[in-house]
Amino acid sequence: QKEVEQDPGPLSVPEGAIVSLNCTYSNSAFQYFMWYRQYSRKGPELLMYTYSSGNKEDGRFTAQVDKSSKYISLFIRDSQPSDSATYLCAMIKAAGNKLTFGGGTRVLVKP
Amino acid sequence: DGGITQSPKYLFRKEGQNVTLSCEQNLNHDAMYWYRQDPGQGLRLIYYSQIVNDFQKGDIAEGYSVSREKKESFPLTVTSAQKNPTAFYLCASSPDGRQPQHFGDGTRLSIL
């Protein structure tokens, strides 16, 4: 079983809808959580970085962390066709120095 | 303009040949990483380095080698021992191992 699970999608939504993405993890040692966006043939780009349970908002993006359930989420409001990409969750253990990635969810926002 | 530069963007390898992928960063980051990404897959860690002249194997180090002679440079060599090298290779750096990593735009390696 993988340490971090993420639905591969694709997730198809109409423009303007809310995109909801999530990852589950099995090891409670993970303490720092990230979301990356990756366009085709490009490197991942950091979107959000959180290290505590609760919500963090940045523009149209909201990241949620629920450590008790070992579950993290990313919400994209007012989605645009330019949001079409693969979204990767990643996390680091408290005593660690390596990222563990989910497999990525492909998102398609249709005009 | 700070960032991570990977070159070349595309690379072709012949049978029995070693090839080297370049990664340079001007972010003054201590830690650097190499990942492999296969189609539709997540990222798998090949090697990482926390400090100059030191590096550790990741999850899939067999058939690869690295060096870290300078803080800003972390080249990856794909040796002939790597039997399935076709993939997208990503280099990343971080201020230290616990901060988020920043990525280059990758090198796509194919077999001739």
- Residues in CB range of A14: below 8 A, 6 or more apart: A109, A110
The pLDDT tens digits for A72-107 are 999 999 999 999 999 999 999 987 778 999 999 999
Chain B residues whose CB is inside 8 A of the A32 CB are 98
pLDDT digits (tens, 9 = 90+) for B21-39: 999 999 999 999 999 999 8
The Cα–Cα gap between B34 and B14 comes to 22
Asked if the Cβ–Cβ distance from A92 to B97 is below 8 Å, we say yes
What tens digit of pLDDT does each residue of A34-81 get?
A: 999 999 999 999 999 998 788 999 999 999 999 999 999 999 999 999
pLDDT given at position B1 = 60
pLDDT tens digit string along B63-97?
A: 999 999 999 999 999 998 888 999 999 999 999 87
Beta bridge partners of B34: B47, B91
| B58 close to B43: Cβ distance less than 8 angstroms | no
Structure tokens at B56: 């550790």
**Chain A CB contacts of B6 below 8 Å:** 43
Give the gyration radius of chain A's Cα atoms. 13
